[in-house]
Amino acid sequence: MKVFISVDMEGITGVTNGSHTSSVEPDYQRFRKLMTQDVNAAIEGAIEAGATEVAVNDSHGPMTNILIEELHVEAKLISGNKKHLGMMEGIGDGFGVAFLIGYHDREGSADGVLNHSFMGGTVLEIRCNGEPVGEAGVNAGIAGHFGVPMGLITGDNVVCADSVRCFPGIETAVVKEAISRASTCSLTPTKSHALIRERAKAAVQKAPTLVPYRVVTPVTFEVDFKSTAQAYACDVFPELKRIGPRTISFSAGDYLTAFKMLWGALQLGAAGAR
């Protein structure tokens, strides 16, 4: 079985605030090492359960965080942030299950650690067919488009609880409890890696029974930006309809096309803020 792993950073063991996830801060080097160790634990569990191939997509910020020299020898690494599928680049029909490692919940949902939606300075809320979604939900839709079920998510208690609600049967590894957006109570790496390994093994074993997360088509996304300038920047394309001072809406007949429109709109919005 082929396993696809998307790895973010805010939900990694011990990560508590923005200084842990920014490459210009001194703590970053510690936490990119822990990021690599968290994903290695997931790979080990997957291989123990019979995975034959593992593709890892570095999915945080510049998407060049994982230390390839310390990555599990059996994995292949996708890195760099110029990708049409963003955090899910590399997924396709041949995969049996997808893992989301080190994920966080969307902005505005409870007090999840470092919660935001793709671009913290750009996006206030994303809705898919009227329902608010975070990165886990948006990316699960891409996996579902290819018929790949969600098998495992790791992160804080908030994102894991939300994933259980959205993706029946998903395994979770709660590596830390959120106290506030910038405070946590975290497991030690030894404990968290043992938990991730155990849950990854269980996810691969149950993968044939899991149902992919499929979004009803046609797909409509709405994005509430944090400023009117960001929505204005998107208004250059007629497909991106500005339906409010800070809000755009667009639709497509299939999920992958809708996602690519979303991904492009977020780039435009981010550029419009500068």
Distance CA 132, CA 183 (A): 24
Same domain, 72 and 184: yes
What CATH number is attached to the domain comprising 81? 3.40.50.10780
Pick the last residue of a domain from 169, 190, 209.
209
Total number of domains in the chain: 2
Q: Residue 28: what residue type?
A: Y
Nearest to 260 by CA among 158, 138, 173, 174: 138
Pick the last residue of a domain from 161, 176, 209.
209
Query: Largest Cα–Cα distance of the chain, in whole Å?
Result: 52
Sign of CA dihedral 165, 167, 172, 177: negative
Q: Residue 79: what residue type?
A: S
Nearest to 97 by CA among 206, 207, 172, 6: 207
Assess contact for 31 and 63: CB atoms under 8 A. no
Q: So what's the pLDDT on residue 264?
A: 94
The domain of 54 spans 2-115+134-209
- What is the value of pTM for the model shown? 0.96
Structure-token match 């290819």, residue found: 146
The DSSP bridge partners found for residue 152 are: 99, 171
Same domain, 205 and 223: no
Q: So what's the pLDDT on residue 274?
A: 66
Per-residue pLDDT of the chain (274 residues; tens, 9 = 90+): 999 999 999 999 999 999 999 999 999 999 999 999 999 999 999 999 999 999 999 999 999 999 999 999 999 999 999 999 999 999 999 999 999 999 999 998 889 999 999 998 899 999 999 999 999 999 999 999 999 999 999 999 999 999 999 999 999 999 999 999 999 999 999 999 999 999 999 999 999 999 999 999 999 999 999 999 999 999 888 899 999 999 999 999 999 999 999 999 999 998 877 6
What residues are labeled active site?
A: 116
Which region holds residue 233: left if phi is over 0, alpha if psi is between -120 and 50, else beta? alpha
Pick the last residue of a domain from 155, 181, 209.
209
**90 in any annotated domain:** yes
